[in-house]
């Protein structure tokens, strides 16, 4: 029996380099994962261009096969108008050159035709390189913005005896409009003996850079107000006044949940400003929601009166678990466009075993991730877990 020939060292080296190159390109993902990611990206791109198309007009003006071409032309125009004028002209030129069919002419004319098609490909490659350069520059700027944003939120929870806190956030893009914090107030309010623990989760309407900028101003306003000897009710009124002054006529409102916890008595005063009702799971397993408050911060007023925000009071007990979240959690969707929803979140919280806040947080995030799969994230996700341990 003939022996299997051993590959030459040069062949092994080429295979090794090709394998390394493929690993770098795919970042270790399998073909199934790459396919799912491409489908998700394609859907997101279609949604971006499709919203600029008047589909009613397309439907009225064409039927059958003509409608397909009309739809493709409408989408192409939507994509074209996303470019700068100079790049639009280059794209049109490249497409025109590529539509010249090779083989129509013979002899020297055929050679000219082939060169024109190649020139069209070169223009497309040039456009790709220019757009990629813009994307890389923007990504670098966003990474810097993300670093700055990370300075505004805590990287670890404060040390409070008898209270275990964990939080996590995952932006849809590089930067987010979600905000979370937990800190002992530097100045004791007038009616308190010891500095209370202030917990907050907020969500600015919108996404990416505009929402992130307003989130930064919200954080600065909260920090300034919390450093004065005022009550939580006064902090809330000040935040609403500030948000109304920077809300662009109510288009950039902010939902928020703020709670002040007495470090000794465990009494919690809270205000819910149009936010998702946090989940309070008692040590007995009973679920309570915390809805008391008012509308989101920043909505315009029709009178000069200060918008009232009634506060709620809760007595926390050992074993209680408080779960505060933004709508990105319950509105996370899978490939079938089905939302995760509170119907899945509530049992996940109610059935959580007696473990640390960090473990509970990981359990919830894993459940959301398993439901979503490879679908593209369409909103910022932020959670804060507070467990009373003593």
By the 8 A CB rule, do 341 and 332 touch? Answer: no
Spatial separation of the C-alpha atoms in residues 218 and 149, rounded to whole Å: 12
Break the chain into its structural domains and give their ranges: 74-152, 156-388
Which one, of 227, 182, 217, 174, lies nearest residue 201 by Cα? 182
CATH fold group of domain 156-388: Phosphatase 2c; domain 1 (3.60.40)
The pTM for the full model equals 0.71
φ/ψ (deg, to 5) at 355: -140, 180
Residue 22: CB atoms within 10 A of its CB come to: 10
Assigned token pair, 294 = 């008012």
DSSP 3-state of 143: helix
DSSP assignment of 185-236: -SS--TT-SSPPEEEEEEEESS-HHHHHHHHHHHHHHHHHHHTSS--HHHHH
Convert 321-341 to b/e letters by CB count within 10 Å (16 or more is b).
bbbbbbbbbbebbeeeeeebe
Spatial separation of the C-alpha atoms in residues 331 and 338, rounded to whole Å: 9
DSSP-derived secondary structure letter, 237: H
Assigned token pair, 61 = 């003006």
By the 8 A CB rule, do 225 and 235 touch? Answer: yes
pLDDT tens for each residue of the chain, 390 residues long: 555 566 566 676 777 778 888 888 777 777 777 777 777 777 777 777 787 777 777 777 666 667 778 888 888 888 888 888 888 888 888 888 887 655 445 455 555 555 677 788 888 888 888 888 888 777 777 676 677 767 777 888 888 889 999 998 888 776 667 889 999 988 776 666 778 999 999 998 877 677 777 888 888 899 999 998 889 999 999 999 888 887 666 567 899 999 999 988 999 999 999 999 999 999 998 999 999 999 999 887 655 566 678 999 999 999 999 999 999 999 998 888 899 999 999 999 998 888 899 999 999 999 998 898 877 778 888 999 999 998
DSSP-derived secondary structure letter, 337: -
DSSP assignment of 80-131: HTTS-HHHHHHHHHHHHHHTSPTTSS-THHHHHHHHHHHHHHHHHHHHHHHH
């Amino acid at each position: 029996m003939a022996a299997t020939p051993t590959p030459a060292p040069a062949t092994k080296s080429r295979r090794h380099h090709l394998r390394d190159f493929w690993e770098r390109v795919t970042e270790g993902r399998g073909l199934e994962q790459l396919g799912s990611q491409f489908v998700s990206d394609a859907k997101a791109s279609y949604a971006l261009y499709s919203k600029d198309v008047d589909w009613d007009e397309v439907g009225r003006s064409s039927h059958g096969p003509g409608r397909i071409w009309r739809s493709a032309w409408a989408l192409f125009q939507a994509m074209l108008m996303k470019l700068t004028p100079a790049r639009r002209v280059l794209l049109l030129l490249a497409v025109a050159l590529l539509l010249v069919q090779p083989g129509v002419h013979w002899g020297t004319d055929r050679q000219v035709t082939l060169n024109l098609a190649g020139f069209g490909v070169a223009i497309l490659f040039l456009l790709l390189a220019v757009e990629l350069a813009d994307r890389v520059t923007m990504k670098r700027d966003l990474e810097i913005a993300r670093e700055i944003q990370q300075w505004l939120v805590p990287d670890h929870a404060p040390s409070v005896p008898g209270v275990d806190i964990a939080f996590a956030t995952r932006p849809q893009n590089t930067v987010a409009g979600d905000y979370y914090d937990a800190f002992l107030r530097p100045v004791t309010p007038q009616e308190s003996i010891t500095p209370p623990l202030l917990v907050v989760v907020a969500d600015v309407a919108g996404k990416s850079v505009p929402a992130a900028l307003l989130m930064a101003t919200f954080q600065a306003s909260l920090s300034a107000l919390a450093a004065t000897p005022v009550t939580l009710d006064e902090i809330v009124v000040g935040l609403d006044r500030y948000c109304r002054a920077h809300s662009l006529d109510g288009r950039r409102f902010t939902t928020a949940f703020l709670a002040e916890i007495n470090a000794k008595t465990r009494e919690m005063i809270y205000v819910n400003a149009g936010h998702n009702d946090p989940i309070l799971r008692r040590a007995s397993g009973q679920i309570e929601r915390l809805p008391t408050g008012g509308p989101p911060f920043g909505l315009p007023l029709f009178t000069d009166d200060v918008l009232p925000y009634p506060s709620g009071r809760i007595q926390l007990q050992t074993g209680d678990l408080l779960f505060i979240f933004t709508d990105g959690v319950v509105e996370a969707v899978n490939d079938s466009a089905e939302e995760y929803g509170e119907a899945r979140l509530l049992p996940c919280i109610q059935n959580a075993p007696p473990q640390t806040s960090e473990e509970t947080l990981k359990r919830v995030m894993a459940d959301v991730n398993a439901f979503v799969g490879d679908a593209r994230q369409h909103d910022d996700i932020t959670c804060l877990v507070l467990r009373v341990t003593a």
